[in-house]
Amino acid sequence: MLVLGIETSCDETAVAVVEDGVRVLSNTLATSRALFEELAGVIPEEAARQQLLCMIPVLKQALREANATMKDIDVIAVTRGPGLLGSLLVGTSTARMLAETFGKPIVGVHHTLGHLSSTWLDTKTPPLFPVLTLSASGGHTDLWYRTSHTKGELIGRTRDDAAGEAFDKGASLLGLPYPGGPSVAKAAEGGNTNAYEFPSPLKQDDTLDFSFSGLKTSLKYLLRDLEGSFDMKDMAASFQDAICEHLLSRLRKAADHYAKAASIHLVGGVSANKRLRELAKDALTDREVLVPSSLGYCTDNAAMIAAAGYFLLQEHPTLAEETFTTNASLPLEATIG
Ligand code: KG4
Ligand code: ZN
């Protein structure tokens, strides 16, 4: 089954063609990020304007690279939320227009189900359930235990900032460019991870929830107290490790509790982090640790949405006949529902 995936939840315009949820025939993306780098954030109206301009060229390119036409496509899958409303509407309107014009079924996908599906992309042996997944991005950080693509539970979530947001806000405090994850990681190369001390968030808490706002505040006060006299490499390395260690302390606890999980997956933009991957291998030696097969599948992309659409229809075939809404605040609980 050939699925055309469309993803426009933030500043990216992404279209992909994926076969049977795993084989990526094309994964095309245009981003207006460079426009927003200096502003350390995205301007929603401007992002949507750029997406309107890019959508049709990106769609054409994705089809061309997959050596396909709309006739070959079996289903259209599109991100229906959460995200920036104007951006989401560019994607869902395009998907609805294509479905109508070419008489194709269409399925709306929760952005997070896309991330949860990203470890299936381009795999020869698809992972076996149950799986435990840490999904950590700029907008969300959560832990899932699933017995199938759409069955399972949300077992932990952030109470304030997302892990990627901690990287982004930390980078801004350090004067490093947006997005913060890659720039903090780059600044941290060769740095001493123990040079500066950060608190361990939610240390006494026995849930699997996360909290990152305290780390950002600690960095702010540390920088204020040091009055500009600090080593950037060491500071970035210590801050990066504090974020990674908090993520892994929760993941380790979840792995012990959900002993049946056959593998542990790290997905979302933050899963591109090399140090996180290194530390995860050390912390989770008793389990197979999987990350998306390419860095482009960690950050937002349309291949993961096409895969999620395929898995959704495999498990709930009637969804193709149902309508869906575009919802900027689609709750996390609706991810696999
Ligand atoms: O999944 P994604 O592309 O978009 C959202 O759904 O939010 O994730 C973007 C987030 C940003 O906060 C960015 O700083 C972070 O992922 N990120 C990273 C790395 N690459 C992207 N964080 C840490 N290390 C990286 N290498
Ligand atoms: Zn995302």
Question: How far, CA to CA in Å, does 144 sit from each of 91, 94, 149, 235, 254?
Answer: 26, 31, 11, 31, 9
The angle at the Cα of 108, spanning 159 to 292, to the nearest 5 degrees, equals 60
- The model's pLDDT over 207-220, given as tens digits with 9 standing for 90+, comes to 999 999 999 999 99
Pairing state of beta strands 263-267 and 288-290? parallel
Token pair for residue 262?
Answer: 């056959």
Q: What is the pTM of this model?
A: 0.96
DSSP 173: H
Round to whole Å and give the CA distance between 149 and 88: 23
For ligand 1, the distance from its centroid to the CA atom of residue 271, given in whole angstroms, is 8
Average pLDDT score over the chain:
95
Atom of ligand 1 nearest to the CA of 139: 7
DSSP 201: T
pLDDT of residue 75 exceeding 80: yes
Closest CA to 30 of 3, 1, 60, 67: 60
For ligand 2, the distance from its centroid to the CA atom of residue 222, given in whole angstroms, is 30
Ligand 1 atom 14, closest CA: 181
Ligand 1 atom 18, closest CA: 181
- The model's pLDDT over 289-308, given as tens digits with 9 standing for 90+, comes to 999 999 999 999 999 999 99
- The model's pLDDT over 90-121, given as tens digits with 9 standing for 90+, comes to 999 999 999 999 999 999 999 999 999 999 99
What is the pLDDT, as a whole number, of residue 32? 75
- Torsion (CA) 280, 211, 146, 297 in degrees, nearest 10: -60
Sign of CA dihedral 296, 299, 300, 306: positive
Round to whole Å and give the CA distance between 240 and 231: 14
Residue 11 CB coordination number (10 Å)? 25
Of 167, 276, 295, which is best to mutate to test ligand 1, by the most ligand atoms within 8 angstroms of its C-beta?
167
- The model's pLDDT over 148-195, given as tens digits with 9 standing for 90+, comes to 999 999 999 999 999 999 999 999 999 998 889 999 999 999 999 999
Round to whole Å and give the CA distance between 335 and 6: 17
Residue ranges lining ligand 1, Cβ < 6 Å: 10, 137-139, 164-165, 167-168, 179-182, 185, 268-270, 272-273, 299-300
